[in-house]
């Protein structure tokens, strides 16, 4: 009887140890998730800041974007052609490619943000704020033209999401 009582005591202690280990593991997983979310947030901010740095370091991108957006709007008849004709709308092929690659890099950052949100590493509130920004930016003619020419190269769920967003704003 004494051995049976000892076995029960050892078994009880072992079960308590297992339960304690499971609780500890759960806490560790929660901390790891929070750390991953923090690292994801930091990475996203770094990516956004790198885009801003490019614009600051290359102010000619603003001029190229302005010329190209005016040209696109003029081509579609959505701008006063007399005012536009007085502007210098000459955009070289190199400038077009430079702006195209810059816009494409922004879209890739957005795609990554969308992916991080989908897998739960980007908070819904933060993602909603980004979505507001996307709505403002994607409607700019050069951005929209770049999206339309490159959308097939993006992750299918992101493509669907962006096109739904475009449907909302049009």
Digit-coded pLDDT (tens) for 60-110: 887 887 877 777 777 665 544 444 444 456 778 888 888 888 889 999 999
Query: Taking the mean position of all CA atoms in its chain, how far away is CA 109?
Result: 5
**Secondary structure letter of residue 141 according to DSSP:** H
Digit-coded pLDDT (tens) for 23-74: 878 778 777 777 777 777 777 778 777 877 777 788 788 788 787 777 777 7
Give dist(CA 98, CA 1) in Å, integer.
85
Structure tokens at 78: 């959505």
């Amino acid at each position: 009887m004494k051995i049976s009582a000892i076995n029960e005591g050892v078994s009880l202690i072992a079960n308590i140890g297992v339960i304690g280990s499971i609780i500890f593991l759960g806490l560790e997983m929660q901390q790891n998730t929070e750390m991953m979310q923090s690292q994801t947030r930091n990475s996203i901010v770094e990516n956004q800041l790198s885009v801003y740095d490019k614009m600051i370091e290359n102010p000619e991108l603003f001029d190229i974007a302005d010329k190209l957006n005016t040209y696109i709007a003029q081509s579609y008849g959505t701008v006063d052609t007399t005012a536009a004709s007085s502007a210098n709308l000459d955009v070289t092929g190199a400038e077009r490619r430079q702006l195209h690659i810059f816009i494409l890099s922004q879209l890739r950052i957005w795609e990554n943000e969308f992916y991080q949100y989908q897998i739960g590493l980007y908070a819904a509130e933060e993602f909603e704020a980004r979505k507001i920004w996307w709505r403002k930016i994607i409607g700019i003619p050069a951005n929209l033209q770049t999206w339309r020419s490159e959308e097939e190269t993006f992750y299918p769920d992101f493509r669907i999401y962006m096109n739904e967003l475009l449907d909302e704003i049009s």
